[in-house]
Amino acid sequence: KLESFRPKQGASFVRNPDYWGDKALPDRVEIKFFDDEQAQVVALQAGQLDVIPSTTRLELAIEGNPNFKLLSVQASSHDAVHL
């Protein structure tokens, strides 16, 4: 469920305690909005983010770095947050 929304900054979601099924994981998801890819890559390298969409800039920045894992999956053209 949506906890907060900050235009041009991000949004946070928390687990819905009233959901009738099994409890979803994780308890909380924080989404940050970025104006450019370089800022995303820098935030990822600084440990401020856990996941970002793959870009050529990202792939070049983390290539060969054992602290990062680059995953490639086929997906539809929408972003979704499943809680």
Residue 48 lies in a domain: yes
Q: Which of 1-10, 31-40, 46-55, 67-76 has the lowest mean pLDDT?
A: 67-76
Question: Chain centroid to CA 37: how far?
Answer: 13
Residue 23 lies in a domain: yes
What φ, ψ does residue 71 adopt, rounded to 5°? -110, 140
Residue 82 lies in a domain: no
Residue 76 lies in a domain: no
Query: What six digits make up the tokens of 18?
Result: 């009233």
Residue 79 lies in a domain: no
Residue 54 lies in a domain: yes
pTM here is 0.66
Q: What is the pLDDT of residues 13-65, one digit of tens each?
A: 999 988 888 888 889 999 999 988 888 888 888 989 888 877 777 777 787 88
DSSP 65: -
Residue 69 lies in a domain: no
- Residue 38 CB neighbours (<10 A): 13
Assess whether pLDDT exceeds 80 at residue 12: yes
Domain that holds residue 46: 2-62
Q: How many domains does the chain have?
A: 1
